[in-house]
Amino acid sequence: MNASTLNHLPTRILMGPGPSNVHPRVLKAMATPVIGHLDPMFLKVMDETRENLRLLFRTKNHFTIAISGTGSAGMEAAIVNILEPGDRIMIGVAGVFGERMCDVAGRCGAEVARIEAAWGDIITPEQIAAELKKQPTKVVAVVHAETSTGAHQPLQEIAKIAHEHGALLLVDAVTSLGGCEISVDDWGIDICYSGAQKCISCPPGLAPITFNERAMEAVRARKTKVQSWYLDMTMIERYWGEERFYHHTAPISMLYALAEALNIIMEEGLEARWQRHARLGAALHKGLEAMGLKLLAKQGHRLPMLTSVGIPEGVDDLVVRRSLLADLNIELGGGLGAFKGKAWRVGLMGESCCQANVLLILSALEALLCAQGITIPPGAGITKAAEALKT
């Protein structure tokens, strides 16, 4: 990319599966002068960031950090640190990101037991319990917010069952953290990772992660070295801890951005932030259904911050998304895997989660769908969403 392209980049309304829009304060933080990654003042920024991450995860875990890498690096770090060749892991698969966990675990030489559900559905505690009775399992892994389907996975009962069978619970919270309740300590989650670019509304490039002491004991008790040098938590722990032992050069400007994004979250308050996402997500759902569109996640288990919408028969997916981008500067996500070409993914995450965006996407979709021959009562979506927003 040359300088002329950079100077002409548009300002988009990001309503896809991530990244989300970023607050100006976060962008300003990224322009803060760079200092050394072992500078005492930068270490203070790390300490403050770590404390706010504990608040965000709702944990007292000592090992709570931001990995230098995107949410996928968080996934890989969680899995490669806890698994050794021959270990058994049970993974809930109901979308793309459950599949991805299976791939990473398989590359570790682990025995992978898949627990499957239909796309848009959830993994049940009964499925987990039945599989755990078959043979000893080291880890149970599930996706809290399946970004490919918009399904919201309950965790507390699964945590209880996993622990009753001596297994650790590993949770993917890439899309959920900062947008809906997740309570690592109270719910009994042993390892949890996320990404900075979704409901936290920080640019992509960091992966918040937390291990409780039970999980870290398992990591320290390994018989073999962690598969990845870069993501070895036993070494990274020494950099983020009191020792401050050099491991790699931290992405300083990105950590400035995360620090400010977390400050903004704490100013709003976690409960208020969850309520904002829940209220606006529900209004979007009602508006879409009033337009005759089908929501693909199971009723009662729909995420507020990521909604999968079925594309009506005869509608050209790419024409709609390209028109939104070219004419209105709105980014909408396409379907993945089984939903490719069959669904749109609408994001209401962090800074992108606002009333104006709900009404904008509903009106834009109405116009574009009508242009492709779909009959929608004029203003049906906006009217229903507005009614929901009044309550």
- The per-residue pLDDT for range 334-343, each reduced to its tens digit, is 999 999 999 9
Amino acid 381: pLDDT: 97
CATH of domain 24-267: 3.40.640.10
Across residues 189-217, what is the average pLDDT?
98
Positions of E strands within the chain:
13-15, 63-68, 88-93, 111-116, 139-143, 145-146, 151-152, 168-172, 191-193, 206-211, 306-310, 330-334, 343-347
Count of beta carbons in the 10 Å neighbourhood of residue 157:
14
Amino acid 240: pLDDT: 87
Q: What percent of the chain has pLDDT over 90?
A: 94
| Fold of the CATH domain 270-390 | Aspartate Aminotransferase, domain 1 (3.90.1150)
* Weakest-pLDDT range from 46-60, 85-99, 240-254, 349-363: 240-254
Per-residue confidence band for 6, with pLDDT thresholds at 50, 70 and 90: confident
Amino acid 242: pLDDT: 81
Across residues 225-245, what is the average pLDDT?
90
Residues 13-33: b if buried by 16+ CB within 10 A, e if exposed: bbbbbbbbbbbeebeebbeee
Is residue 224 classed exposed, middle or buried when 0-12, 13-18 and 19+ CB atoms within 10 A define those classes? exposed
Distance separating alpha carbons of residues 25 and 45, to the nearest angstrom = 16
- The per-residue pLDDT for range 158-200, each reduced to its tens digit, is 999 999 999 999 999 999 999 999 999 999 999 999 999 999 9
Amino acid 139: pLDDT: 98
Q: Do 24-267 and 270-390 have matching folds?
A: no
**Whether 246 contacts 239, CB under 8 Å:** yes
Across residues 64-70, what is the average pLDDT?
96
Residue 34 has pLDDT above 60, yes or no: yes
Amino acid 4: pLDDT: 81
Per-residue confidence band for 238, with pLDDT thresholds at 50, 70 and 90: confident
Amino acid 3: pLDDT: 66
Amino acid 69: pLDDT: 96
Amino acid 245: pLDDT: 84
Amino acid 77: pLDDT: 97
- The per-residue pLDDT for range 254-273, each reduced to its tens digit, is 999 999 999 999 999 999 99
| Cis previous bond, 19, omega within 30 | yes
Amino acid 2: pLDDT: 60
What pTM, to 2 d.p., does this model score? Answer: 0.96
Amino acid 352: pLDDT: 98
Amino acid 129: pLDDT: 97
Amino acid 244: pLDDT: 84
- The per-residue pLDDT for range 116-156, each reduced to its tens digit, is 999 999 999 999 999 999 999 999 999 999 999 999 999 99
Residue 225 has pLDDT above 80, yes or no: yes
Residue extents of the structural domains in the chain: 24-267, 270-390
Residue partners of 112: CB distance under 8 A and separation at least 6:
89, 91, 102, 105, 106
Count of beta carbons in the 10 Å neighbourhood of residue 294:
12
Residue 1 has pLDDT above 60, yes or no: no
Q: In the predicted model, what is the mean pLDDT of the chain?
A: 96
